Every structure is written in C-alpha cells, then in structure tokens.
Structure 1
C-alpha cells in the first residue's frame, strides 16, 4: 500500500496539545493528544513549559516523517494567542512562556496609558478592550520596564505559533493573525503597527511579517517540507467557514466564551462597542473581523452546577433535556439581567429552559452588536451550544429575520491551519464536505 499524502498540524491549546495528520480529503488519519506538566515563572505563577512543548513538536514531526504509512508534505501550527516566546540570537528561549492570565501590574498599566493617549483612545485605535496580559504587546512593555536586563538580551519575540514554526524551518517571522488579535500592537485605523511600538523600542524585537497563507521550503529528515508560519487559533477556526460559505454570514463560536464574528461588518469599532466587549481580529488574509464576546459558556457551566446541587442531579442530566415550547416564556424587550435567578417550586425542565432563555437574551444583545448596519441574513452557530436544541430553537426565535444553522467542522482549528496553506500541499480543489449544518426555524 502506498503512503497516504497529507499535512501534519500541531494544535496547541491551553489544556490539551494535539497532533493531527490530514489526508487530501481532510479526513483525520492520525490524532494524538499530549498533556504537559506546567512550570512556574520567577513569581511562582503557573505557565506552560515551552521547552517540553518544543521538544515534543520536533520529536513528533521527525517520527512522522519516517513513518512509511504516510507522506508528510506540509506542516502548520495553530495555538492559543497572547503568548510570546522571547529568544536570544541563537534561538534559545530566555524566559518562561508567561501566562496571559497573570495579572498585569496596575501602576504600570496606568503609566503606559498615560504615555499613549489614555485607555479609551488606545482601545479604539487597537480595536481591543483593555485586557492586561491578554494584550500581549504589553507583556513586552512590562519586561522593558521591570526586567531591563532580560529585555536587552531578547533578540526576537515570537508569538507561540511562529516559535513552533521557527523550530521547524529555522526562520524568524511574525504572522498577522497573532499580531492582530487583542495584542495592542496593531493600529486598525492605519493598518500598521501602533506608534507606541516604535516609541517604546518594541518594534526591533518583532520579526518581519510573513503571509499567513504562504509556506517556507525546508528539508527535515532528508525530506522536502512546506512549512506554514502558524496561526492564532481563533482565526484558524474561522477559516473553514470563510472557505465554504458563499453568502454573507455571522459565525457564533461557542465554548467557554461565545464569540460572534462578522467579516461583513466594515464599520470601525466605536468606544461604546468596546465597552460592551467588542473587538476586532485580523483574518489570515489581513482583513478586520469585527467580533463581540460573551462569557456564556462559563455562565452556563456554573449555573448548571448550582441547579444540579439544588435538584440533587448529575450535571449530565441537563444534556438530555429536550426543547419544549410550552416551557418558554414569551419574548420581551426588558433589560438583560446580568445574572440568572431561579425560584423553587418549578420542575427542573422549566428552570433549565429559563436559564437558556436568559442566556439567549444576553446572546441576542451581544450578537446584534456586530450585525448592526449589515445585510447579513445567515447565522451559523458552532461549538457546545450548537448541540443544545433548546438554545438553538430559542436563537431561531430571537433572530426570526435570519437563517439560523447549527454548524460543525470536525477539529475546525486544526483544519483551518491546513486550509490556510491548501494550495501548497493538496492537489484537490476544495473541502466543502467538511461543513455540516442543520437549520432551525421558528
């Protein structure tokens, strides 16, 4: 039997690190999940072990290049964002992979925004709320101010996807999906780095940009290999939908965060939208992607725990509750409640419907923030809530003027990283079969 040609993809999440091998039909031929013990930075804050992750990536790729059952034509990377690997001139990491959840020093933040126009103006220009270390550019600023010796030793700072690419092809590059995702580095109005990057001496620590849909030729284990530059995971997960849906649409990606993404909204972010947790990403084609965020998945999980304890049930019980129209309240235009309140005396099914209706009301407000002034008529919902028929039916009722679909792409983030460089490794035209949809109507 001849070797199966395809692409290797490393999909590095905060919890799980995964390896995939896709064939030319984007079928998963191999999949492996790896977990690593966390290490700690100099302040004792937990963070991923960049040395262990890097060693695993190099070892796994070398192993698969020797595998007679497959033919690895290309490799790409998708990882969580807001994480820099700071390297010296020899390419060795100089610092821990600082955790973006680590609190950013308040006094240092005050000084930074005082220097650069104030929080409101800065957030508007960079199309991102003020998010502390999630604004990864400020991680470099913190090192400059608080660890000047380390800052002086840094030759380049690479976002995590580009560092893993560097381990493979040996080139130092930045990527627009990592730079353009709530980093505070990019001025969306000028479509260039924000001026503070040069003013604070940060720019010379950043590698030149490389096209997100381009590849670098290299040889590993004596074999030619096309290497992608790596992608931020949120942008990678959006690529299958961009490639497969031909009509204007909004994607609501649900998980811990529910993120509404509208590539057809070209209006600049306003201060009011930023205050309501809107932001912009840059797609792998360099286009702004207006988005809004809601912590809906987290709220659902926490409330289900409370309901399970109150009704003496296993939390898994709620996964099986079917939609019943008679258990829903009529839609109203009252203000969105910040938290869910339930009363005893109701059945568990009625209370759970009330919870989902509460979340849908919040979601409607969040999604409408990116729908304003657009002609989009299709809403695709993927992730956990797409499998919740109560949520999906209520979303169809909340958006009666739109076609509402539950959508799924198997391993969308990894598939997106493969699709970004499709032309460089795949002899087939497209992968439209990857997208599965189910329409919900009122």
Structure 2
C-alpha cells in the first residue's frame, strides 16, 4: 500500500531540498542538492535558474518512480526578495539577480525623490531602505536600466511563485512574498503602493492567489494539487500559528535572528524602521511585526576568532555548557533587565574585545553570548512592547545553545521561554498551509517539541 504524501521543495540560498511528509507530518523521504552559482551580465553571482528548474523535474520523476509513495499535493517554500522576469509563456528573460547585488545610488535617489522620500516610503511599505533586498526596487531598476528586456516581460514573479508556475503553468503572486520588505505593498491601505500604479507596474505583478489554496498541476500530470509557494520566513511561522492560539513571539535564529510577533498589529514607526524592524504578511494577509538582528553571523565570525586565538576547534562551541560562575562576573547584583535597560543599544561590540583578557576560551565564549543576548533583548523588545505575549518560542541554531537560552529566560522573566524544535519548519509550514486540500487527518498536536527554560538566577 502506497504512503500518501505531500512533496515540498524547500529552496534556500545554499541547499535545495525536497521533503515528502506523510499524513502525520513525519518526513519519509529527503533529497538535497547544491548548485554552482552562475553569473549575471555584470559578473555578479546569482542563482542558476535552469539548474533549479531541471532539479525540480528530476526530483519529482525520481519520487514518481518510487512505488512507496502516492503524491497528493506539491508546494514550495523559498527565500524571498528575488524576482524572475518571465514572458507570456512563463520563460525567464533575465538572470535571477542576487538580492545582495549593489543598487545604483543615482537610481535609488531618483526613486525616493519622486515618491516622497525614504522615511515616507519606508513607513507606508513597512520596508527599511535595503536596496536590492527591496524586490520592488529590482523591478524599478529593470524598467530604467534594461528597457529592451522590460518590454518583453509579462510578469515579475517572486521566486516561490515562479517555482509553482513551472508545475502548474499558471502565474500568480502571493501575499507572503509581496508583503516582505519589497517596497510594493502599502500596509496602511492594504494594497499596492501608489508608486507601483504610477510606474504602471501593477499589471506586471500577477494576480494574487491565496497561500492556503491550490491549483491543478500540468507537470508531470494533472493529478497533483499544487500551492502557490510561500516566502520561507512566513512559512516557518504557520505550524506555530496553527498549534498555539495564545499570543507568542517566534524567535527564528540563523544567520539572521528574526523576532516575529503575529499579535502586534500596531503600525511601524520611523524609529522602529531605523532599528531594522519591518512587517511581513502572513499567508492569511495579516501583518506580522518583526525585528532583525545579524546575531548568527556575528556569532559565527567571533567563534572563529576565539577558536583561532585559543587554538581550539570551532565545533567545540556547539556543546559548551552553562557555567554560572563564569557568567556571574558580568551579571549585576540586582535585576539583569534593569541593568540592560540602562545601556545604550550599541554598548557591546565583542569584535573589539581583546581575547587576552580572558582566562580561557570558555570564559570568552560565555561573554560573547552575554553580549549577543543583550542585543537580542533590545531587538525582541521592539516587537514585544504593548502586547500581551506570554511565550517566546526559539527555533534554529540558538535554541540548542544552553547559555543563550538560559540568559534569554533571565531577561524575559515574565514570559515563558521555550526552545522549540520542529523538523524543517519552513517545509512543514508550506505543507500545513494547504493541509485541508490533501490531508483528511486532523493536524497532529506534536508537530513542535518544546523545552521550557527557567531563569537560573533567582534575583531577577
């Protein structure tokens, strides 16, 4: 008897994965691919779209040949801020430009001078000024720098929707991609920003299709219900939204540590935008206030520095246990929260710390995490204030870090702090989004494993 499954393509910048989930949301098959990047016409590295497309087809053929599985549905979760320019047949006309590609200052100035200034646009679109990371700016650039290609473009599709289109033959937009620091969406008016209309770009943004709906596939046959594809940050939140109804924050940790608060609908202020806050749209079109911190990247760089200085291996720091005696050197006599509240936001800069000041590498590592938790406290507090959040769920790399988790419990003493683990959160989210279409079983209650952390210090 074949196992009914949903196939999810999870496309990250580095790894491209295919997962098959059974009806209990257990992973029953996994395949990973990595591609060599190609270069655009300026010599900047970018995703190889053709390799990506062929890999999807090859993976599906492989699963179809496997007599164990019965594919009921297909969906995609991919990184955001990347546009595929397609002609009327859905064929790409240009490279998939890297969202880190440098944005021309003159064009940026032209845009913001024309449409009301950086602050004004940032507030209404809930998008900090991020250059190419604001994907709407990529489309604006295409219009002014490559008019010959622009004239042939039928639609500019965000990457998740392009991936879905190669299976369905249908071209759509999705609210999780549009509502993610793109500069395209006016959060106040819940519609495209007026600059999109004035530049006559609205028709190039395909009709919006609901993230929890499905269409029929055309490849490899018409038997498969297919989702429109989701932006990965929004997809990762879906299992939590389905599992917990009381207000919570999800702290998703990786290279970026993103604090997502689906229960904060207060519009972003200019001050919050200046501090790297933004809004996402959930797959149901609701705003999710978020703050970003480049903590995973800083951790990686500084761990390398510690390992080199003390002649140890980087891997050692994945399992360092909490040592309260080491931490007590940095902890105030009273409340850690009150102490942190007296500090300037840029008080700690571990990169400038002299490592010879520490007795050993473990002491240095404890201090590094202490400084990162301060920064995390500042960033998470931005989206926490004026809400009734009672829980923080931490997933990703830092959820496994004992020192980080214990310190986080100390700086949020009124809130339950949990390490959350879930097999492949973004893929699971893309599967759960279209659950009602392919799965007759109720959603399982054990999708997310939780471990509560309690402050290790009483005087808080």
TM more than 0.5: yes
Alignment of 1:26-425 (within 5 A): 26-222=25-221, 224-328=223-327, 329-330=330-331, 331=336, 332=339, 333-336=342-345, 337-340=347-350, 341-344=353-356, 345-425=358-438
Give CA deviations for 1:118-175 in whole Å, capped at 9, x if unaligned.
0000000000100011100110100101111111011111111111111111111100
Aligned to 1:334, the other structure's residue is in SS state: coil
Q: CA RMSD in A?
A: 1.1
Per-residue CA shift, 1:205-255, capped at 9, x if unaligned?
A: 110000000000235444511010000011111111111112110111000
Aligned-partner Cα distance in 1 for 2:282–2:274:
23
Moved more, 336-345 or 369-378: 336-345
Distance 2:147 2:66 in 1: 46
Which residue of 1 is the match for residue 451 of structure 2?
A: 438
How far has the Cα of 1:58 moved from its partner?
2.0
Secondary structure, counterpart of 2:151 in structure 1: helix
Matched-pair contact (CA < 8 Å) for 1:252–1:259: yes
1:64 and 1:321 map into 2 onto residues whose CA distance is 40
Contact 2:123 2:270 in 1 (8 A): yes
Q: Is the Cα–Cα contact under 8 Å of residues 240 and 409 in structure 1 kept in the other structure?
A: no
Structure 1 residue 272: deviation in Å? 0.2
Q: Does the aligned pair in 1 maintain the 2:6–2:73 contact within 8 Å?
A: yes
> Would the aligned equivalents of 2:258 and 2:291 in 1 still touch at CA under 8 Å?
yes
Residues 37-66 of structure 1: per-residue CA shift (max 9 Å, x gap)? 111111011101111101111232233234
Match of 2:442 in 1: 429
Structure 2: how far apart are the matches of 1:179 and 1:272? Answer: 23
- Mapped partners of 2:217, 2:316: distance in 1: 51
How far apart, in 1, do the equivalents of 2:219 and 2:95 lie?
A: 27
* Partner SS state of residue 433, structure 1: coil
Secondary structure at 1:113 match in 2: helix
- Unpaired runs of 5+ residues, structure 2, are 456-460
How many angstroms does 1:375 deviate by? 1.0
Q: Deviations over 1:61-87 (max 9, x none)?
A: 233234321000000000000111111
Q: 1:222 to 1:84 in 2, by over 3 A?
A: closer
SS in 1 for 2:446: helix
CA contact (8 A) 1:62 1:220 kept: no
Count of residue pairs brought into register by the alignment:
441
Contact 1:58 1:167 in 2 (8 A): no
Is contact 1:342–1:351 with CA below 8 Å preserved after alignment? no
Q: Deviations over 1:372-427 (max 9, x none)?
A: 10111111111100000000000000111110101011100101000000000011
Once the two structures are TM-superposed, the CA of residue 343 in structure 1 deviates from its matched residue by 4.5
Q: Deviations over 1:78-110 (max 9, x none)?
A: 000011111111221100001001000011001
2: distance between equivalents of 1:232 and 1:302?
27
Return 5+ residue gaps in structure 1 as ranges. Answer: none
Q: Which residue of 1 aligns with 2:458?
A: none
CA–CA distance in 1 between the matches of 2:422 and 2:68?
26
Structure 1: distance between partners of 2:43 and 2:354: 40
Q: Give CA-to-partner distance per residue, 1:267-287, whole Å, 9 cap, x none.
A: 000000000000000000100
Deviation of the 1:9 alpha carbon: 0.5
Q: Relative to structure 1, is the Cα distance of residues 319 and 201 closer, same or farther in structure 2, using a 3 angstrom cutoff?
A: same
Report if aligned partners of 2:100, 2:133 keep a CA contact under 8 Å in 1: yes
TM-fit CA distance, 1:177: 0.4
TM normalised by structure 2 equals: 0.94
Structure 1 residues 148-157 or 52-61, which shifts more?
A: 52-61
2: CA distance, partners of 1:169 / 1:351: 53
For 2:390 and 2:222, the matched residues in 1 are separated by 47
